[in-house]
Amino acid sequence: MDQALESKIVARGKQFFQSIRGEAPSIFNKGFWTGKVMDWAMKNEDFKVQLFRFVDVLPYLTTSDALRRHIEEYFTGDGAADIPAVLKWGAEKSGMFGGLAAAVMGKAIRSNIEGMAKGFIIGQTAKEAVKSIKKLRKDGFAFTVDLLGEATMSEAEADAYRDGYLEVLSAIAKEQPSWPALGGGKGDLDWGHAPRVNVSIKPSALFSQAKPVDMEGSIAGILSRLVPVYRATKAMGGALCIDMEAVKYKEMTLELFKRLRADPEFRDYPRLSVVLQAYLTDTERDLADLLAFARAEKLPIGIRLVKGAYWDFETVVAKQMGWEVPVWTKKPETDAAYERLSTEILRHCDMVYFQAASHNIRTISQVMETAKALGVPESRYEFQALFGMAEPVRKGLLAVAGRVRLYCPYGELLPGMAYLVRRLLENTANESFLRQSFADGQTEDLLLENPLATLERETARASSPRPSESTRPATPAATPKAANVPPPFANHPMPDFTIPGLRAAFPKALAEVRACFGRTIPLVIGGKEVVTADTLASVNPADPDEVVARVCQAGTVEIDQAVAAAKAAFPAWRDTPPENRAAVLFRAADIARGRIVELSAMQVLEVGKQWDQAYADVAEAIDFLEYYAREMIRLGAPRRMGNQPGEHNHLFYEPKGPVAVIAPWNFPLAISCGMSAAAVVAGNCVIFKPSGLASAVGHGLCEIFRQAGLPDGVFNFCPGRGSVMGDHLVAHPDIAMIAFTGSMDVGLRIMEKAARVAPGQAYCKRVVAEMGGKNAIIIDDDADLDEAVSAVLTSAFAFQGQKCSACSRVVVLEPIYDKFTARIKEAAESVKIGPAEDPSNFMGPVVDENQRQTVLGYADIARAEGRILVERHTQGKGFFAPLVIVDGITPEHRIAQEEVFGPILAVMKAKTFDEAIDMANSTRFALTGGVFSRSPKNLEAAKKRFRVGNLYLNRNITGALVERQPFGGARMSGVGSKAGGPDYLLQFMDPRVVTENTIRRGFTPIDEGDDWFE
């Protein structure tokens, strides 16, 4: 730490505070409704949550009835008695409350909150924006204008976003000649060096299909709309800054920045900036990379340095997905990173025009004093703040530095409310400099402290024992864990395609898998490979001329051999200790982890799964192995029942015997592995019949188990034609149990066959069957459409809708029906369709010609029963079925009742939420369902009345995770308990109880745990 510089920073900060003494940002001014409500929110976390959620939903409450209902739902009820008083305060103040109707109060509350939002945006139209800009410039502030928008779900929306920019630029173009330059700058430039026109733009809003897995396609898509905006900006002599959003867009943003900067059309125009976020732990590396680029290309660049606006989001997402958290987790770490980054940028002021964006007086003072110490000319840096935030700070900045630019969002109130929520969060966060300075009254010394010192102090405090602890006797050391106890279960991380290594691994693995195409896959019975004369070609659904493998087919003879092998292996495997059986699963999980990309690539080519979907499937298989292994260890120990002395009752579980596992093609590894792993770890032996459409993937499972050391005969790989060997396997007298996942028709047939007792049969066969679904998502009239449209699209069409959990019906409340259908239509028209091998494609081919014909047949039915909103056909060699969205559907229609297992979505209209639930429940199935609503009451109602096995609120309805979302349905969706849940293994075992009388002629040994006297 440079002490001299440090003292100057603190002195500068004190001076700054002195210059704004007694002032507070308007949001903290308790004399106004906003300040009062904010004050309450900061004191009362529950109220804060409710308030911010209410602000978020407000633009959707278009009728006074909806408004009243939501006010009641959000702000009344237990423990919230005095909350409405705060809200009413505004109404009372404005003289509108007190004896007047609730509708009037609602109106007043709405106008207060809209007023709050307007405090952060400069206008709702381009005209208003230009007017406000003019005024700000009169007050001495430069601007950068930003167009607010909803999440871009379609190419039409991306076009509209681009056009919005072109519109505001053209409005500014007309006005700007009349604006005198700021700071006495000569000519057209503010402060003598900065263009008067400045635009900030969110890259992801310019392309609806932007995703890390398709880096090149995303960059091209964004640039196609960014270039016209930059061209228009350049024509006006303006500057453009590319905002930085969530970390998933970071790499593409930095790359497109470099490409745009180096583009021959713009090389000579050095008015392009990009944002870096100090809270990302990788940003120092990114800065070094940008500096190297600028120097190598001899291209001056601009950098706006911020701390970062998505801290909560990034941490929560990383935790949910099992990823490393990408941001610093302690506030002073971010502050310190900002200071290091700003120093480095200032050192390179010959190549970088620096825009320091912060409302933190310590941060600002550090930039000022460091720039001075390094002798950076004032023309090489400026300060920036958000419009509507930290008014005293921006005023102080203007007085001291002169060069202050305000970030000025404009746009409609709907996206304006989402922006308001972000700003409210930023102002009221415990760690916020503004809150600590202007609401919590933190001392200046602490506010101006060097963040490294703060960090040291806070770390020391966290690690020193609390007084009460230091006087307490030391707690005895925790009981040492048994050496072989596994760590707690954790899901395998979801694929993170921001990692370049993962993106590069896929094409390589696809090539390797393809290189082995055409091989013959044998059966494996009793540990021996068995080659049959009959083989079945498994083909690539995107190009059926490509034979993935020729798979040997078991007939009844081979099935008899396999059942005999399983029966022979059973006694030894049954008597293998549960921990040892679990150990095989742990080894199998390790092997699958090591081969995850290769196993995914096989699915991409054999069944047409997109990269992320295929990876998630393998990840789920790993989860099943890890979870069921732990479950078996848990269930493996005999449990004592009761505690009466003189009597020992022990409950324990025993495997059932040979189990037939009949698996589907749609989750070819995960479901195959889940059913097999459960059977095997419970001590059973398996005859595994993979789907004929996914037998190469199925063989992968066989290899994994073999490599993991599963004894011969415990897992027998028997692909075969259902018509030839299916009934024989199910009806075989030595089969104890059938675990099946697939269609309802086949599932019901299995149950019927299994119920018949064959001569010599020693088991009552148990059938666990996961069957179909006709799953619905309800869109309430207050649903967040950004989220709902995206979730319905993914739930209905990812992997071509070929999931039993997929959404095939969407029930939309009347008031929002037109808006929803318009957006889902545009969104579905925007997705790319083509082979799953190409990661830019959102949807691929269905699995085979039969499936294609089925979908085509249902497309005809949809056309006859409703009105087609979207019908997208794809040309190509593969089994491409149309993506269809049909509306005007009612519960009686076939398209609302029958499972299609393909990319067809029926849209239904409901008048009330109750009716929507009735419609959703109106099929024979009960597998998954979803609700998008911001009404607490309706969400509660759905929990009670929407009767499906897995109900998802405000998210997509596919992708259940092992342990977190145990999966399975009821009614015609299946029998058995939930896969990946705590009851699943019990189905593969029979419970036994042994009771022993321990009394010998009155002598009774008393055991620990007996009900005995102290």
Ligand X SMILES: Cc1cc2nc3c(=O)[nH]c(=O)nc-3n(C[C@H](O)[C@H](O)[C@H](O)COP(=O)(O)OP(=O)(O)OC[C@H]3O[C@@H](n4cnc5c(N)ncnc54)[C@H](O)[C@@H]3O)c2cc1C
| Minimum distance from residue 354 beta carbon to ligand X (Å) | 13
Q: Which stretch binds ligand X (CB under 6 A): 74-82, 431-439, 590-598, 842-850?
A: 431-439
Residue 308 or 839 having the CB closest to ligand X = 308
Q: Which residues 6+ apart lie within 8 Å of 706 measured at CB? A: 524, 527, 715
Q: Which residues 6+ apart lie within 8 Å of 100 measured at CB? A: none
Identified binder of ligand X from the candidate list 41, 172, 240, 385, rule CB under 6 A: 385
Q: Report 673-712 residues binding ligand X (CB under 6 A).
A: none
- Residue 407 as a binder of ligand X (CB under 6 A): the answer is yes
Q: Which stretch binds ligand X (CB under 6 A): 427-435, 705-713, 828-836, 905-913?
A: 427-435
Run of H or E including 997: strand 989-997
Residues paired with 120 in a beta bridge? none
Cα separation values, 230 from 223, 236, 266, 536, Å: 10, 10, 9, 56
Cα separation values, 36 from 24, 28, 41, 94, 104, Å: 13, 8, 9, 14, 20
Short-list 895, 913, 912, CA closest to 904: 895
Q: Measured between alpha carbons, how far is 968 from 653 in angstroms, rounded to an integer?
A: 23
- Residue 913 as a binder of ligand X (CB under 6 A): the answer is no
Residue 246 or 499 having the CB closest to ligand X = 246
Q: Which of 150, 804, 837, 865 is catalytic?
A: 804
Q: Measured between alpha carbons, how far is 352 from 349 in angstroms, rounded to an integer?
A: 5
Cα separation values, 360 from 275, 280, 367, 501, 604, Å: 18, 18, 11, 37, 49
Residue 97 or 279 having the CB closest to ligand X = 279
Residue 365 or 958 having the CB closest to ligand X = 365
- Centre a 10 Å sphere on the Cβ of residue 823 and count the other Cβ atoms it contains: 22
Token readout for 394 is 């921006």
Cα separation values, 601 from 621, 813, 831, 834, Å: 15, 41, 22, 16
Burial of 93 (0-12, 13-18, 19+ CB in 10 A): middle
- Residue 830 as a binder of ligand X (CB under 6 A): the answer is no
Q: Report 203-232 residues binding ligand X (CB under 6 A).
A: none
Q: Which of 339, 558, 606, 770 is catalytic?
A: 770
- Residue 427 as a binder of ligand X (CB under 6 A): the answer is no
Q: Measured between alpha carbons, how far is 906 from 884 in angstroms, rounded to an integer?
A: 8
- Residue 328 as a binder of ligand X (CB under 6 A): the answer is yes
- Residue 358 as a binder of ligand X (CB under 6 A): the answer is yes
Amino acid at 794: T
Query: Burial code of 948-977, b = ≥16 C-beta within 10 A, e = fewer?
Result: bbbebbbbbbbbbbbbeebbbbebbbbbbe
- Residue 340 as a binder of ligand X (CB under 6 A): the answer is no
Q: Measured between alpha carbons, how far is 927 from 967 in angstroms, rounded to an integer?
A: 9
Token readout for 783 is 């649903």
- Residue 357 as a binder of ligand X (CB under 6 A): the answer is yes
- Residue 243 as a binder of ligand X (CB under 6 A): the answer is yes
Q: Which stretch binds ligand X (CB under 6 A): 73-81, 351-359, 468-476, 483-491?
A: 351-359
Identified binder of ligand X from the candidate list 7, 76, 329, 853, rule CB under 6 A: 329
- Residue 334 as a binder of ligand X (CB under 6 A): the answer is yes
Contacts with ligand X by CB under 6 A: the residue count is 31
| Minimum distance from residue 359 beta carbon to ligand X (Å) | 4
| Minimum distance from residue 13 beta carbon to ligand X (Å) | 12
Tallying the residues shown for the chain, one arrives at: 1014
Short-list 248, 237, 183, 186, CA closest to 212: 248
HSE of 349, CA atoms in CB hemisphere, 13 A: 21
Identified binder of ligand X from the candidate list 46, 139, 297, 431, rule CB under 6 A: 431
Q: Report 365-384 residues binding ligand X (CB under 6 A).
A: 384
Q: Which stretch binds ligand X (CB under 6 A): 28-36, 302-310, 705-713, 908-916?
A: 302-310
Q: Measured between alpha carbons, how far is 917 from 910 in angstroms, rounded to an integer?
A: 9
Query: Burial code of 460-482, b = ≥16 C-beta within 10 A, e = fewer?
Result: eeeeeeeeeeeeeeeeeeeeeee
Token readout for 2 is 């440079």
Identified binder of ligand X from the candidate list 244, 254, 260, 539, rule CB under 6 A: 244
Residue 328 or 880 having the CB closest to ligand X = 328
Please say if 804 is a catalytic residue: yes
- Residue 449 as a binder of ligand X (CB under 6 A): the answer is no
Residue 257 or 611 having the CB closest to ligand X = 257
Residues paired with 776 in a beta bridge? 809, 929
| Minimum distance from residue 365 beta carbon to ligand X (Å) | 12
Please say if 702 is a catalytic residue: no
Q: Which stretch binds ligand X (CB under 6 A): 70-78, 309-317, 738-746, 834-842?
A: 309-317
Residue 357 or 371 having the CB closest to ligand X = 357
Identified binder of ligand X from the candidate list 190, 286, 314, 333, rule CB under 6 A: 333
Amino acid at 96: M
| Minimum distance from residue 227 beta carbon to ligand X (Å) | 20
- Residue 360 as a binder of ligand X (CB under 6 A): the answer is yes
Q: Which stretch binds ligand X (CB under 6 A): 62-70, 327-335, 672-680, 935-943?
A: 327-335
- Residue 311 as a binder of ligand X (CB under 6 A): the answer is yes
Residue 390 or 554 having the CB closest to ligand X = 390
- Residue 397 as a binder of ligand X (CB under 6 A): the answer is no
- Residue 331 as a binder of ligand X (CB under 6 A): the answer is yes
Q: Report 275-294 residues binding ligand X (CB under 6 A).
A: 275, 277, 279
Residue owning tokens 């195409």: 517
Residue 333 or 963 having the CB closest to ligand X = 333
- Residue 141 as a binder of ligand X (CB under 6 A): the answer is no
Token readout for 780 is 């309430």
Identified binder of ligand X from the candidate list 53, 330, 721, 832, rule CB under 6 A: 330
Residue owning tokens 């007996």: 1010
- Residue 442 as a binder of ligand X (CB under 6 A): the answer is no
Identified binder of ligand X from the candidate list 308, 495, 713, 866, rule CB under 6 A: 308
Q: Which residues are catalytic?
A: 770, 804
* Interface positions with ligand X (CB under 6 A): 243-244, 275, 277, 279, 306-311, 327-331, 333-334, 357-360, 363, 384-386, 407, 426, 431-433
